[in-house]
Amino acid sequence: MSPADRFARLPALYAADTDLIRRARGLDVECKVEIGAEPFFLSFRNGALAALDRGPKLMRSTTFTFRATDEAWQQHWKRVPEPGWHDLFALTKRGAASMEGDLRPLLQNLQFFKDLLALPREKA
């Protein structure tokens, strides 16, 4: 399964994580996550993942973007990631990921987004 295909399963993974949903209360944001070359548009409404739209969308506006290479996501989602691949900022520091836009909602909810983007990780 490609990294993008794995990420496409996010709505089901998120729906099953009641603790993560609890922590997202009050979150309203439109953001973009790029899995390699493939963009995903996420819409959060009061913590609920109202939409996950896959693929390019003409003139879609988002607050912030987090992107990483296919290799970075594959490494990050290993059951036990190797050193240097185990955190979003480890990825940005090594140049395998980047973030842009208005980062305020990301930083206001940083642990939430770290945990959200780790949901496709292989389970033990």
Partner 1 sequence: MAPKLDPMVGRYVRTDIEGVPHRLYFEEAGPADGIPLVCLHTAGADNRQFRHLLADAEITRRFRVLAFDLPWHGKSTPPEGWEKTEYRLTTQSYTAAIRAFCSALELDRPAVMGCSIGGRIVLNLAIAHAREFRALIALEAADFQQPWYDTAWLHRPDVHGGEVCAALISGLIAPQSPPVSRHETLWMYMQGGPGIFKGDLYFYRVDGDLREKVKGIDTKACPLYLLTGEYDFSCTSEDTTRTAAQIPGAYLQIMKELGHFPMSENPAKFREYILPVLAKIS
Q: Which residues bind partner 1 (CB under 8 A)?
A: 80-81, 83-84, 86-90, 92-94, 103-104, 107-108, 110-111, 114
The pair phi, psi for residue 11, each rounded to 5°, is -55, -40
Closer residue to partner 1, CB minimum distance, 8 or 101: 101
Nearest distance from residue 103's CB to partner 1, in Å?
A: 8
Closer residue to partner 1, CB minimum distance, 41 or 73: 73
Closer residue to partner 1, CB minimum distance, 55 or 83: 83
Nearest distance from residue 56's CB to partner 1, in Å?
A: 29
Nearest distance from residue 96's CB to partner 1, in Å?
A: 12
**What is d(CA 120, CA 3) in angstroms, rounded to the nearest whole number?**
9
Closer residue to partner 1, CB minimum distance, 62 or 92: 92
Nearest distance from residue 117's CB to partner 1, in Å?
A: 12
Read out DSSP for 2-49?
A: -HHHHHTTHHHHHHT-HHHHHHTTT--EEEEEEETTEEEEEEEETTEE
**What is d(CA 78, CA 110) in angstroms, rounded to the nearest whole number?**
21
Helix (H, G, I), strand (E, B) or coil at 73: helix
**What is d(CA 118, CA 77) in angstroms, rounded to the nearest whole number?**
6
